[in-house]
Structure formats: structure tokens, C-alpha cells
Amino acid sequence: MTGSSGDRRDKAGAKRVQFSSPFLPYLFLAPQLAIIFIFFYWPSAQAIQSSFYLEDPFGFGSTFVGMSNYADVLRSNEYLGIARFTAIFTVLVTFFALSIGLLLAVKADGVIRGNSGYKTLLIWVYAIAPPVAGLIGMMFFDQHIGPIVKLAAWFGLDIKVGLDYFDTAFAMIVVSVWKQIPYNFIFFLSGLQGIPVSVREAAALDCRSGTRRFWTVVLPLLAPTAFFLLIINVTYALFDTFGVIDVMVKDKAANNPITLVYKVYMDGFRGNDLGGSSAQSVILMVVVFVLTIFQFRFIERRVHYN
């Protein structure tokens, strides 16, 4: 990092030497700013605005209703049920994706030989789009041809994805975790390989037990990576799993588990409930906003460590 004096200009990324020109910087910024204003600020403002209005279903104007869209949303049992599922889903996906990613990274880091082979074999699933992963998941959980269904039948379990709420949730979580493991693996592995050899040697001398060394030396050193990944994984579980869910519920959202983002989509595009959908959008905005502020503060603090 260039000079960490921490003043405002430094945060904006200033150099010691700079060009000064009355209009050039604005010219360079113009395309990015134009797109951001039209496709970010305008719709965001509109989401906030229409969350206070009740849209006439036939398109004849709208009435200001204050906070009543929010009240309706937050009082609805259906919404609260979906919020609860989203929370459970997010916790489970994040936990399993992080811990399996970490386990594999620690093992790959320990095995010097074959490391790059394992790396290649483990990371490419990252590039598969969530709905494609969802489609493959559907097939593996298919009533007729799915090997997982057959395997479960061996143990006397009857898995009915798409029909049974719990089974569908289970399949969604499995597919979402599967898709996210490579991402966590890459970051944990680079984090591990960034630990200096001298630190490793000192740790090996101090602490003979590999497991204890992991918990007391390695894990604390990985904490910044883990924290960063925690935020990324929560965001992934909240938003990027949309494709997995959309493919798996097959347009029968009513008796299937869905997340809050899916509900925004359903109410806005299927139910034509503009106000309600917008209010939900704003609620989600606040959630993500808080999460990201948290992350920014943390990253900022870490930059000072360097």
C-alpha cells in the first residue's frame, strides 16, 4: 500500500505525483459514472420510492401508503417463514462450504507433491453456473434416475425433491455447497501458502501436535481470509443461489423452500405486487448494506496491519 497516513485523499487512492487537468479526469470517469447512475442509482432510488406506494394493479397510478408495505411484509407469516428458511439455509451453506473448503486446503497445503494436480481438480467447479449445477443436482436427485435417491432408498429413506419441503431444502443445500467449495478452497490455500516458512518452523518447534498447531497458530493467521470468505459466502448463499433454487423449485414455489431474493422475484414478476416486492428489496438492501459496511471496516483495519 502506498503511504498509510489515512487521510481522506489517501483513501481515494491518490498518488504523491499526479496530473492536474480541469476536464480529463471527468472524461475518464464519465462512462462508468453514466452507467452507474442509470443502472444503479436510478433503480435503487426507484425501489425505495415504490416501497412507499401501492401500485394500482391495472396501471392507473399509485397511492402513497407510507410504511404499510413494510408492515404487511413483516407481519406476513409466509414472509417470516421464508426469512427463517433463508437464515437456516445461509448458515448451513456457509458453514459446510467454508469447513470443507478449509479442510481440503489444509490437506493440499500439507501434501507438497501433487499439490497443483489437486488444485486443478478441485477448482474448476467454480466456473459452473449455479443453474447448471442445479440442473445436474436435479438429475442426481431425480425420482427415476437419481443415484442419490437410490442410495437413500438403501437406507430406507424416500427422497422426493420438488415434492417434499425438507428433501428439496436438503438437495438445494448440497448443490449450493458443492458449487461454493472451490472458491473457498482457492482462498484458503493461497492464505496458507502465504504463511512464511519461518513462522511454520517456529510453530513446528513450539508445538508438536499437528492438530493443536492448526488451532493455535495456523487458524488465527488465516482469520482475515476466513472473515473475508465468511462475508462472501453469506452473500453467495443469499443471492447467487437464485439459479440453483429457480431450477430446483420448477415454478412451484408455493410448497417448496425459497429464499428472500426468490420471494422478491416471485412477488414482483409473478404476483405483480410492486410495492411489496420493493419493500422486500429495501429490507434486503439494508441487510447487505450492514454486512458490507462491516466487511469494509474490517478490510480497512487490515490494510493498516500491512
Partner 1 sequence: MHRTKILDHVILLIGVFIMVAPVVVAFMTSTHEAADIHSNGLSLTWGGHFAETYETVLTRAGGFTGKITGFNMMLNSMILGLGFAAGKIVLSMLAAYAIVYFRFPLATVAFWIIFTTLLLPLEVRILPSYEVMNALKLTNTYTGLIVPLLASATGTFYFRQFFKSVPDELLEAARIDGAGPFKFFIDVLVPLSRTMMAAIFIIMFVYGWNQYLWPTLMTTDEGFFTLVRGIKQILLVWVGSNIPDYNEAFALAILAMLPPVMIVVIFQRWFIKGLTESDK
User: Out of 4, 63, 76, 190, which residue is the one contacting partner 1 (CB under 8 A)?
Assistant: 190
- For the segment 84-143, give every residue that binds partner 1 (CB under 8 A): 100, 103-104, 107-108, 110-111, 114, 118-132, 134-140
Residue 25 interacting with partner 1 (CB under 8 A): yes
Site string for partner 1, 211-250 (x = CB under 8 A): -------------x---x------x---x--xx--xx--x
Q: How far apart are CB 220 and partner 1 at their closest, in Å?
A: 17
**In whole angstroms, what is the distance from residue 264 CA to residue 281 CA?**
7
User: Out of 90, 176, 184, 277, which residue is the one contacting partner 1 (CB under 8 A)?
Assistant: 277
Q: Which is nearer to partner 1, 257 or 268 (CB)?
A: 268
- For the segment 156-175, give every residue that binds partner 1 (CB under 8 A): none
**In whole angstroms, what is the distance from residue 184 CA to residue 123 CA?**
9
Residue 77 interacting with partner 1 (CB under 8 A): no
Residue 197 interacting with partner 1 (CB under 8 A): no
C-alpha pair distances (Å), 65 with each of 18, 45, 72: 51, 17, 11
C-alpha pair distances (Å), 244 with each of 134, 162, 187, 239: 4, 13, 23, 10
**In whole angstroms, what is the distance from residue 300 CA to residue 268 CA?**
37
**In whole angstroms, what is the distance from residue 200 CA to residue 12 CA?**
36
For every residue of 67-105, DSSP letters joined together read THHHHHHHH-HHHHHHHHHHHHHHHHHHHHHHHHHHHHH
Q: Could you tell me the three cell numbers for 218? A: 495456523
Q: Could you tell me the three cell numbers for 220? A: 488465527
- Collapse the DSSP code of 226 into the 3-class scheme (helix H, G, I; strand E, B; otherwise coil) and give the result: helix
- For the segment 39-58, give every residue that binds partner 1 (CB under 8 A): 39-40, 42-44, 46-47, 50
Q: How far apart are CB 214 and partner 1 at their closest, in Å?
A: 12
Stretch touching partner 1 by CB under 8 A, among 66-74, 90-98, 152-160, 261-269: 261-269
Residue 181 interacting with partner 1 (CB under 8 A): yes
Residue 8 interacting with partner 1 (CB under 8 A): yes
